[in-house]
Structure 1
Amino acid sequence: MSLPGSQRVTGTDGSDFQHRETIASHYRVSTETKPRLRILIYLHFILACLVIFQIVTYHIPLVTTVNIPRPHLWQYIWLITLIPSICGLLSMNKNHIFLMKVFFRGTVLFGLGTIMTTIILNLSDLFTFKKLKSKNKLDEVEPQTFLGFPLIVLWYMFLIIVVQIHAFSLYMANILLHSWQQYKPTKRN
């Protein structure tokens, strides 16, 4: 940076900037990826708050006019992913590889594992709903609804959103892990 009114150094035309220091690529990648992962973790927290709200209002009925659906086992297991998500947020402050690995493995096991198992196990219910709806026999069965919407469809919408959030979170966490591990200084004894 030059002062106003100062002159350029003699013998240069200003094109000799190639030798100057540049930001290493792993630092650039890390600073670009961290805010994206934070947003995804916060979205996960918002969805977890919805599930917690459903569980609490089912067990402690506050409003009697709304029929809250019974929570499923997968919801309780999926809420365990809040712990790895907190580890993921804490890992980004000082590039803690161990905490990021806890986030990664916890999200795979309790997040994606639980959600994908739920999607596969309940797929027959979704196909049954679709078949009954296409044959106009849905009135005979009376599917479980929430505020007038079929519950199975609402669950699958929720599950698809959660799969996307977890998948993108794992992608971002993988980028950060590779960025942090690539240039980690080795300890010398």
Structure 2
Amino acid sequence: MSLPGSQRVAGTDGSDFHHRERIAEHYRVSIETKPRLRILIYLHFVLALLVLFQLVTYHVPLIKTVKTPRPHLWQYIWIMTILPSICGLLSMNKNHLFLMKLFFRGTVTLGLGTIMTTIILNLSDLFTFKKLKSNHHLDEVEPQTFLGFPLLILWYIFLIIMVQIHAFSLYMANILLHSWQQYKSTKQN
């Protein structure tokens, strides 16, 4: 950079920039990926707050303004993904490999594993709901609803959104892990 009013060095026309230093690739990748992962983790926090709100309103007898459906076991397991997400946020400040690995493994086991298991185990209920709806026998069964919407459909919408958030965050975490590990190995040599 030059100061305003300064002159260019004699003998150069500005095309001699090829010898200058460039930003290392792992720094560039890290800088581009961190904000994306932060957004995904914050989206996860927003959806975790919804589940936490449901758990609290169901278990606290003072809050009974909205008829809250009974929580499922998978919600109690899935809500623990808040801890790996906090590790993921903390790891990005100083490229902390151990915390990012905790985020990755916690998201795979508690987050994605729980959600995929829930989707697979409740798939028969979804097909039964579809069959009853197409045969117009849904009024006889009276499905569980929340604010007028079928609860099963709302849960599947939530689960599909969470699969996408977890999958993208795992992809971004994997990119950061490879970038940071490459930096650590070149730094040690």
Short-chain TM bin:
over 0.9
Distance in 2 (alpha carbons) for counterparts of 1:176 and 1:31: 9
Aligned residue in 2 for 1:181: 181
**Where does 1:30-41 land on structure 2 (aligned, <5 Å)?**
30-41=30-41
Aligned residue in 1 for 2:151: 151
Aligned residue in 2 for 1:52: 52
Q: Percent identity?
A: 83
Residue ranges of structure 1 left out of the alignment (5+ in a row): none
Conserved? CA contact 2:57–2:64, under 8 Å = no
Aligned residue in 2 for 1:76: 76
Residue ranges of structure 2 left out of the alignment (5+ in a row): none
Query: Is it true that 1:105 corresponds to 2:108 in the alignment?
Result: no
Aligned residue in 2 for 1:137: 137
**Alpha-carbon offset, residue 123 of structure 1:** 0.4
Conserved? CA contact 2:77–2:114, under 8 Å = yes
**Alpha-carbon offset, residue 62 of structure 1:** 4.1
**Alpha-carbon offset, residue 61 of structure 1:** 3.6
Distance in 1 (alpha carbons) for counterparts of 2:93 and 2:112: 25
**Alpha-carbon offset, residue 22 of structure 1:** 1.1
Q: TM-score, normalised by structure 1?
A: 0.95
Partner SS state of residue 19, structure 1: coil
Distance in 1 (alpha carbons) for counterparts of 2:100 and 2:139: 49
Conserved? CA contact 2:88–2:99, under 8 Å = yes
Conserved? CA contact 2:40–2:165, under 8 Å = yes
Distance in 1 (alpha carbons) for counterparts of 2:30 and 2:65: 49
Stretch of structure 1 that moved more, 4-13 or 49-58: 4-13
**Alpha-carbon offset, residue 4 of structure 1:** 2.9
**Alpha-carbon offset, residue 21 of structure 1:** 1.0
Aligned AA (1:97): L
Distance in 1 (alpha carbons) for counterparts of 2:104 and 2:137: 44
Distance in 2 (alpha carbons) for counterparts of 1:83 and 1:64: 28
**Alpha-carbon offset, residue 108 of structure 1:** 0.2
Render the CA deviation track for 1:82-122: whole Å, top value 9, x for unaligned. Answer: 11111101100100001000000000000000000000000
Conserved? CA contact 2:81–2:106, under 8 Å = yes
Render the CA deviation track for 1:13-32: whole Å, top value 9, x for unaligned. Answer: 11001111111111011011
Q: TM-score, normalised by structure 2?
A: 0.95
**Where does 1:164-175 land on structure 2 (aligned, <5 Å)?**
164-175=164-175
**Alpha-carbon offset, residue 63 of structure 1:** 4.8
**Alpha-carbon offset, residue 67 of structure 1:** 1.7
Aligned AA (2:3): L
Aligned AA (1:101): K
Please provide the CA RMSD for this pair.
1.2
Aligned AA (1:144): Q
Aligned residue in 1 for 2:29: 29
Distance in 2 (alpha carbons) for counterparts of 1:65 and 1:85: 31
Distance in 1 (alpha carbons) for counterparts of 2:4 and 2:52: 60
Aligned AA (1:43): L
